[in-house]
Chains A and B, each alone.
Chain A
Amino acid sequence: MGLAAADAAVTNNNDCGMTGKKPNTTAAALASATCALLGGISAEPVQAQEEKDWSFDTALLYYGESDSRVQDISLNVLAIRSFIDDRILSLSLGVDTLTGATPIGAAPFNGPQTFTSPSGAQVSTRSANEIPLDDTFLDTRVALAATWQQPLGRLNTVSAGVSISDEYDYLHLGANFKISWDFNKRNTTVSLGLAFANDEFDPVGGAPTPLTPMLDVGDVSNRNGDQSKNIVDLVLGVSQVINRNLLVQLNYSFSNADGYLNDPYKILSVVDSITGDPVARVPTPGIQGPSHEYLFESRPGERTKHSLFGQAKVYMNGRILDASYRYMTDDWDIDSHTIDLRYRWPLGDTRFIEPHVRFYTQTEADFYRTSIIGGTAFPTNASADYRLGNFDAITIGFKYGWKTEAGNQWNTRLEFYSADGSVPGNLLVGNQAGQEMYPDLDAIIFQLGYRFGK
């Protein structure tokens, strides 16, 4: 019990126990009833129960990809209000400003390529032997979330939260609920969480009909209005204290997304079955348009994912190892493995350094391909999005933190992320075998954080 709580207890005595807590004895009940009759009810003691003030965790993030690809500057704030009796209100805010270029899915070849921009209002041309990027990418995202957590009885905890995020072309609304049960002297905790989301996509220029061609400037005949998807997530978890220095957790997660799962800005090249070069196209005379045939991507309308996640926290003479592993599999035929290791190493009483390494690997989706062969029947679904391809990634870096005299904490984090993909040989056609078909990615993550009010 904190000082404020002790104050509240004192106030209880002075104020006839009318502070919202149930009287424990008949005498107390009688006393409080008497007080109520005498008009001794006051709102003040309720405030006196509040144990602590707000605490804040803030971070300014720079995420930058090499080759002028995506750059993100992001401000994040997590505000936590703790009340007496373990009731907690968490509020979070995130603001991202995104700029830069991103691969659009078209295959590189040894000639220049011209594309109509996502808005359908202009064209841009990319050099030969270059993975085509869209550099009209510009967005601001604002995300807000609120969660209320409180005990339910002596050994259960419940929480409920809502989230909203808004971008120029995207709106997310979500709600989540969680219940956890403690038992075995609170050494074992079982929890069940459920989350629901509804996301609306309103793409620049309208959502293109999947597997229809990229058209000339001003032709919006294959563009449609807003699209949406619903997502249901379920997480079942067990955490177990093994001994004084070891805590482990195991989670099973299920996720189902239903609706519009395409990226409306991603395309595929239609290529010659022998050379693998894109099939040339002539725009309508007097109007600018694509130089080759490109089709908008098409993904299935549903995706179901299953994950297993295990984590261990080990305390070793002041140093803490945080190790986790995740296996994910889905009905798009993507399997992934993630290993994450952090080692927190105190440097004296006020500073620490925490090296971090993360390994990730995934297989490609069953509809992932580099291009579509012209003159044949189109597949039902196809995407050249590099994020659905086969790749490995590594993150390596460290975090350094130091406490101020007032007990607040500054921290800084510097990490490098590198993703290296490979296209299965059977997906390469003709000259594609001599091209760099997968857009490898290198990024830097730099963060400056400040925690105060704890």
Chain B
Amino acid sequence: MKKVFCIFAALSIAGCSSLGVEPWERDVLAKEEMQLIADPLDVAIDEHIYFSKEASSGGRGFGGGGCGCN
């Protein structure tokens, strides 16, 4: 059982490490517009609007808030 687990763990690590790119293949990923938060100001403004109007907030980062609007 231990052996099976070890083989499985080794395979998953190998699987994970096969994902991704080499450092010299990061031309596209390095673009500003490819960042997870490409427009931080837009994200902050949107989170403030939706925090004020909906019962959910956060997810992308912290829960937002800091206003008496909800």
Which chain A residue shows the least CB distance to B23?
A185
Shortest distance in angstroms between B28's beta carbon and chain A's nearest beta carbon?
5
Whole-angstrom CA separation of A72 from B53 in the bound complex: 13
A115 at the interface (CB under 8 A from B): no
Binary CB contact string for chain B from 20 to 32 against chain A (1 if under 8 A, 0 otherwise): 1111011111010
Q: Which of B21, B36, B63 has the most CB of A within 10 A?
A: B63
A94 to B20: give the CA distance in the assembly, Å: 38
* A446–B28 CA distance with the chains assembled, in angstroms: 30
Instruction: Answer whether residue B4 sits at the interface, using C-beta atoms and an 8 A cutoff.
Output: no
Alpha-carbon separation in the docked complex, A309 to B63 (Å): 12
Flag if B38 contacts A57 (CB, 8 Å).
Answer: no
Q: Are A193 and B17 CB-contacts (below 8 A) given A185-B22, A320-B33, A334-B55?
A: no
Q: How many A-B residue pairs have CB under 8 A?
A: 164
Residue contact B20 to A241, C-beta cutoff 8 Å: yes
Q: Which residues of chain B are near A185, meaning CB under 8 Å?
A: 17, 20-23
Q: Are A174 and B63 in contact (CB under 8 A)?
A: no
Q: Is the Cβ of B20 less than 8 Å from the Cβ of A187?
A: yes
- Produce 1/0 per residue, A220-251, CB < 8 A to B: 00000000000101010001111111010101
> Which of B33, B41, B49 contacts A63 (CB under 8 A)?
B49
- Contact B20 A188, beta carbon cutoff 8 Å: yes
Is there an interface contact between A143 and B66, defined as CB atoms closer than 8 Å? Answer: yes
Q: Decide if B66 touches A253 in the complex (CB within 8 Å).
A: no
Q: In residues 308-352 of chain A, which contact B (Cβ within 8 Å)?
A: 308-309, 311, 313, 315, 320, 322, 324, 326, 328, 330, 332, 334, 336, 338, 344
* Chain A residues, Cβ within 8 Å of B20: 184-185, 187-188, 240-243
Within B8-65, the residues touching A (CB, 8 Å) are: 16-17, 19-23, 25-29, 31, 33-36, 38-42, 44-45, 48-50, 53-56, 58-63, 65
* B67 at interface by CB-CB < 8 Å: yes
Point out residues on B near A: beta carbons under 8 Å: 16-17, 19-23, 25-29, 31, 33-36, 38-42, 44-45, 48-50, 53-56, 58-63, 65-68, 70
